[in-house]
């Protein structure tokens, strides 16, 4: 896996943390594959249609990404894992995140995402 591919996937993940992207259905749609599904850190499941409908209406919360790692699953499929931290009234909330990105017709799109809460210490 090349450094430029690692940088690209990191940039795409960070785009999904960005306020402008999260409020723009066209930008979100370009990043999420038609078959996209997410299992959230609180146990809910979302389809691509759910995300495109609901995410632009959610209050924006700043997120921080750390411990980013990639695994090549096949020539056109990558697993990204990282820790996401959100600041809240009760202190920082951390979750382990995993995304599967698939390259199709020359562009990378997310096909799966899952968040798992990290227990408070």
Model pLDDT for residues 60-119, shown as the tens digit of each residue: 788 999 999 999 999 999 999 999 998 877 778 899 999 999 999 999 999 999 999 998
* Count of structural domains within the chain: 1
Mean pLDDT of 36-52: 92
Closest CA to 62 of 115, 27, 22, 33: 22
Q: What is the CATH number of the domain that holds 35?
A: 3.10.450.50
**Domain region containing 91:** 3-117
Token pair 């785009």: residue? 15
Distance CA 71, CA 78 (A): 6
The HSE-up count of residue 72 (CA atoms within 13 Å, CB side) is 8
Query: Distance between CA atoms of 25 and 40, rounded to whole angstroms?
Result: 19
The answer to whether residue 3 scores a pLDDT higher than 90 is no
Residue with tokens 């990105």: 101
């Amino acid at each position: 896996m090349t450094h430029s591919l690692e940088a690209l996937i990191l940039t795409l993940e960070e785009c999904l943390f960005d306020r402008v992207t999260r409020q723009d259905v066209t930008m979100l749609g370009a990043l999420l594959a038609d078959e996209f599904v997410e299992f959230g850190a609180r146990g809910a499941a979302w389809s691509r249609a759910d995300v495109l409908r609901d995410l632009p209406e959610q209050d924006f919360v700043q997120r921080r990404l750390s411990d980013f790692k990639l695994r090549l699953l096949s020539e056109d499929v990558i697993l990204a894992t990282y820790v996401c931290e959100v600041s809240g009234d009760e202190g920082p909330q951390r979750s382990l995140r995993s995304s599967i990105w698939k390259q199709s017709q020359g562009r990378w799109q997310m096909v799966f995402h899952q968040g798992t809460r990290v227990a408070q210490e």
